[in-house]
Amino acid sequence: MRCLVTGASGHLGSYLTRLLIARGEEVTILVRDSSNLWRLNGVLDRIRLIRGRIEDLAPAAGELRRASPDAVFHLGWSGVTADTRDCADNLINNVAGSLQLLRIVKDAGCACWIGIGSQAEYGPQSEPLSEEMAPRPNTPYGVAKLCIGQMLAMLCGQCGIRFVWLRLLAIYGPKDDPRHLIPSVIDKLLAGTRPSLTSGDQPWDYLYVEDAAEGVYRAALNEAVEGVYNFGSGHAETVRHIVELLRDMIDSGLTLGFGDIPSSADALTALRGDITKFRNATGWSPQTDLQTGLRRTLDWHTSEGRRQ
């Protein structure tokens, strides 16, 4: 299978790229000139690399067509951290660039499009997330993800491309962005400092990154998989419990700043998802329990992570 991966320099994208290579697939990645490819060290010589910007793909269009991907894994999204995800310029570029990419790969014979959506498409919900829920996003980022997912679904349907949209809840693991909760808590605890946190009472569904990469790959392999799916571990633990597990792995005597950060009134207070639909469609299920995944993540931070 000829595969094109966008966002390959990112957390999930790098694990997916490595998995595709390990499974013998032909891999092309689309990355910016400014992208740091450290997560792909050791496999870059086995990848076809195309430089391009999602906001202007015209200069890269010829190379993308020549790559002639059977499957596109569109993981790239500019601005995913709290300080950038609602930026209007980023949202415009992401939406327009995704449509431009579809136009290019459609002409190149693409048969399958795997896109990564977000739990933010649902907005705050009191019940576990299910695909039957009416989305009600309450952030610009959530609206943008919902809109582009719906547009791509319609356009792929018109041109005969199988479309899969995975609404990712949350992932974690080695090589994560240090600004995210788990790596930032680990770094603070390893430095002997007290992490400032909310009350931590909200349940949160975290999926280990290697399991996530396997699930994305399974979606491409199974031609019966089509449409929107929730994508997570299917099991939620409170943020307090997750952070306490990490603390105890490092030093049970360290203090935690629960309640130091007040929870905003419009914050998503819980993240729980039903993954039954995706599990039944693919036969995939997460293989890494939380404690094992946190231990692997911590081990990376105390060895490899210190050298990044």
Set out the domains of the chain in order of their start, with CATH numbers.
Answer: 2-171+207-231 (3.40.50.720), 172-205+235-271+288-307 (3.90.25.10)
Q: Calculate what percentage of the chain has a pLDDT beyond 90.
A: 86
Q: How confident is the model at residue 97 (pLDDT cuts 50, 70, 90)?
A: very high
Taking residue 84's Cβ as centre, other Cβ atoms within 10 Å add up to: 12
SS3 45: helix
**DSSP letter assigned to residue 266:** T
pTM: 0.95
Report the pLDDT averaged over residues 265-276: 75
Separation CA 78–CA 58 (nearest Å): 18
Sheet bearing 48-51, strands edge to edge? 48-51, 26-31, 2-6, 71-74, 112-118, 162-168, 227-231
Q: Determine phi and psi for 208, rounding to 5 degrees.
A: -65, 140
Q: How confident is the model at residue 308 (pLDDT cuts 50, 70, 90)?
A: low
Closest C-alpha among 12, 91, 17 to residue 54: 91
Q: How confident is the model at residue 263 (pLDDT cuts 50, 70, 90)?
A: confident
Report the pLDDT averaged over residues 222-236: 96
The pLDDT value given to residue 269 = 62
